């Protein structure tokens, strides 16, 4: 059969974005009311410099634009707000379908770093995702100078694949990114997730 006439292969989806409770956190779908908290977190150079698709400075209107797209309900993606149960947005974990592959992205307000919250949040999101997608494979990556993120991925069972340069909006420059991949059978659930 002519390759141009073949139907694209359907990608399985994990279902609607869930609410996930862990020992210390509640992960929930984003809301338009998260815009100000997101802008406050992402207007911090220490956070934004580690993200490829986030501009610096980051304004509340940037957050509202992103939220309009992600809260539309039309996407199969999971975009989870990280809260400590008080509903205050302190970070994000996303599982997005891009170019036929599931991709993990995450960030956390700097004032919550060093407490193991990101490991708990990412671990819980991956656990739920992989329970719904037992044959799933998740891709991610981190800038080469983001040792904490690379350690988190290795702790959860991600395999480091290669290094390539990507453009960072915040840095306005090409930056080395280490690509990684998690196959469902290699996932290591963290305690508390």
Going from N- to C-terminal start, the domains of the chain cover: 20-186
Residue 192: pLDDT band by 50, 70, 90 thresholds? low
Q: Which two tokens stand for residue 192?
A: 């508390």
> Could you read off the pLDDT of 21-47 as tens digits, one per residue?
999 999 999 999 999 999 999 999 999
Q: Report, as an integer, the average pLDDT of 69-90.
A: 87
Q: Report, as an integer, the average pLDDT of 113-140.
A: 95
Residue 84: pLDDT band by 50, 70, 90 thresholds? very high
Q: Report, as an integer, the average pLDDT of 158-169.
A: 96
Query: Do β-strands 159-168 and 20-21 pair in parallel, antiparallel, or remain unpaired?
Result: unpaired
Say if residue 9 is exposed, middle or buried (CB neighbours under 10 Å; 0-12, 13-18, 19+): exposed
The correct CATH number of 20-186 out of 3.40.630.30, 3.30.450.20, 2.120.10.10, 3.40.50.2000 is 3.40.630.30
List Cβ neighbours of 10 (8 Å cut-off, separation of 6 or more).
none
Taking each continuous run of H as one helix and of E as one strand, the counts in the chain are 5, 8
- Considering the entire predicted model, what is its pTM? 0.90
Q: Is the pLDDT of residue 133 over 70?
A: yes
> Could you read off the pLDDT of 43-56 as tens digits, one per residue?
999 999 999 999 99
User: What Rg, from alpha-carbon coordinates, does the chain have?
Assistant: 17
Q: Residue 25 CA to chain centroid, in angstroms?
A: 16
Q: Which two tokens stand for residue 47?
A: 């956070």
Write down the H helix ranges in the chain.
35-42, 45-48, 60-70, 117-132, 147-156
Q: Which two tokens stand for residue 80?
A: 């989870």
Residue 1: pLDDT band by 50, 70, 90 thresholds? very low
């Amino acid at each position: 059969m002519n390759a141009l006439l073949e139907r694209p292969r359907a990608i399985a989806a994990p279902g609607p974005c869930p609410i996930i409770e862990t020992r210390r956190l509640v992960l929930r779908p984003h809301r338009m009311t998260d815009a100000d908290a997101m802008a406050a977190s992402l207007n911090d150079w220490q956070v934004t410099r580690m993200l490829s698709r986030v501009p610096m400075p980051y304004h509340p209107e940037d957050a509202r634009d992103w939220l309009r797209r992600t809260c539309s309900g039309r996407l199969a993606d999971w975009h989870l707000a990280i809260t400590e149960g008080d509903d205050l947005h302190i970070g994000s974990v996303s599982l997005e379908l891009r170019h036929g592959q599931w991709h993990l992205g995450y960030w956390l307000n700097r004032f919550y770093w060093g407490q193991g919250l990101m490991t708990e949040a990412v671990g819980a999101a991956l656990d739920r995702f992989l329970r719904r997608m037992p044959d799933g494979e998740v891709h991610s990556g981190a800038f080469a100078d983001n040792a904490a993120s690379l350690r988190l991925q290795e702790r959860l069972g991600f395999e480091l694949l290669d290094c390539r340069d990507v453009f960072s909006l915040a840095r306005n420059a090409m930056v080395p990114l280490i690509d990684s991949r998690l196959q469902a059978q290699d996932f290591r659930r963290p305690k508390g997730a």
